Structure 1
Amino acid sequence: MSELHTDRERIVDAADRLFYGRGIQSVGMDAVRAAAHVPLKRLYAEFPSKDALLVEVLDHRTDIWNAGIAQASASAVTPREKLLAVYDFLDGWFRTDDFRGCGFINAFGELGAVSAPVAAAARSQKAGFGRYVAGLVADLAVDQVLGDQLALLAEGAQTTAAISGRPDAAAHARAAAETLIDAALERAHVTE
């Protein structure tokens, strides 16, 4: 990871680690201040509320997610391989020591009902991921419903891995994705 140069970057990084590791509601702004090594006045100058900080953290997580998915699919050649790379990315992530589930699902679960900005940020990330998968499915020239199915498999794998503590959820989702992709390709060729 590159060195964090600004107070804002240090605050977002510290908040991300704390919110993801402990839960949003259990972490106060003073804990973020201490972890970021900034004065409380500086923290509030950058982020006037915890919701504002959380939205910035979710935007940061969106960037990390998008970069991870892009990196995972960078060496894949075909749209099929790129789709399956999503599940390979999940498999690696699920096996990390600090995996605590999807930060967006966690944030939505904690605050989505009471914080419109948090709900909007979580929905935006999920919609963006759905569009990414749909774009790869479009490259396959198959029924577009496959995109929704594959995104749902990825989302379900994240939740299952977090709750059950089973990183093999990604491998199971990948196997199901292969079956769905191959069936969609076969149907597309039959109807040509």
Structure 2
Amino acid sequence: MTATASRPGRVAKLPPRERILDAAEELFQSEGIRRVSVQAIAEKAETTKMAVYRHFETKDALVAEWLRILAADYQAAFDRAEADHPDRPREQILSLARFIADGLPALSYRGCPFINSLAELPDRAHPARQVIEQHKALQTRRLVAMCTRAGLPEPEEAAAEITFVLEGAQVSTQNGSIDRTAERLLRIVEGIIDRDRPSREASGPGAD
């Protein structure tokens, strides 16, 4: 999903639902979920508050749908990694790390939408928070599966370490505490997946 609502001449050409989602994305990213009203989203989308509620029953439903689209984008990165590197799980993992590394510059001024949203949604019953938790659980399962296919001796532990690195790099980029985060992220992830590679290759056929 791309934020197109603020581009002159394009707003009116998009279907109303897409205009609303694009406007919501831009405002939620720049101002936060709780500070943005439905009226502000309607004005940004060049529509009416009533029209917003025709497409989304509540503001919470709109937030959940925005995050669902973002989650689908991240899951698509897994799909691309698997399609671009068939039967090469090590390269699939590195492809995911590069996907995160390439997105770090944008996080330096916007932050991770999932992390930002979790901070604003303490209620675990909130539909948008449930979207995030389900997305993260699926992401972990897919990463564990990649680590398993790569022949890592403790795939769940490796997946946890990689997740800590990927998410930690995003937070560190957002708060500016660490420099060269992309470069370091890739080096650390590569170190995790290659840590026991010589012994694995000596004991049997490798995953790559």
TM-score range, shorter chain: 0.7 to 0.9
Deviates further, 5-14 or 25-34: 5-14
Quote the residue 1:19 is aligned against.
28
Higher Rg of the two aligned structures: 2
**CA drift at 1:53:** 0.7
- Preserved CA contact (<8 Å) 2:162 2:189: yes
Amino acid at match of 1:60: I
1:36 aligns with 2:45: yes
Q: Does 1:83 align with 2:89?
A: no
| 1:154 corresponding residue in structure 2 | 166
Q: Distance in 1 between matches of 2:128 and 2:191?
A: 35
Q: Does 1:164 align with 2:173?
A: no
Alignment match of 2:130 (pick from 120, 135, 148): 120
Structure 1 residue 170 displacement after superposition: 2.5
Per the TM alignment, residue 97 of structure 1 is displaced from its structure 2 partner at its CA by 8.0
Which residue of 84, 105, 108 maps to 2:115? 105
Distance 2:120 2:159 in 1: 28
- Is the contact made by 2:107 and 2:174 (CA closer than 8 Å) also made in structure 1? no
Aligned AA for 2:176?
S
Q: Could you tell which deviates more after superposition, 49-58 or 176-185?
A: 176-185
Query: Distance between the aligned counterparts of 1:34 and 1:69, measured in 2?
Result: 35
Is 1:48 aligned to residue 64 of structure 2? Answer: no
Is it true that 1:141 corresponds to 2:151 in the alignment?
yes
| Separation in 1, partners of 2:103, 2:160 | 22
Find out whether 1:9 has 2:18 as its counterpart. Answer: yes
CA separation of 1:127 and 1:187: change in aligned 2, threshold 3 A:
farther
User: Partner residue of 2:141?
Assistant: 131
Q: Does 1:174 align with 2:183?
A: no
C-alpha spacing 1:187/1:147, structure 2 compared with 1 (3 Å) = farther
Distance 2:99 2:171 in 1: 15
CA–CA distance in 2 between the matches of 1:91 and 1:127? 21
Q: Name the Cα RMSD after superposition.
A: 2.6
Amino acid at match of 1:14: A
5+ residue gaps, structure 1, are: none
> How far 1:54 moved relative to its partner?
0.3
C-alpha offsets along residues 82-108 of structure 1, whole Å, 9 cap, x if unaligned? 111222112221124885222111101
**Which portions of structure 1, spanning 4 or more consecutive aligned residues, are displaced by more than 3 angstroms?**
1-5, 68-77, 96-99, 186-192
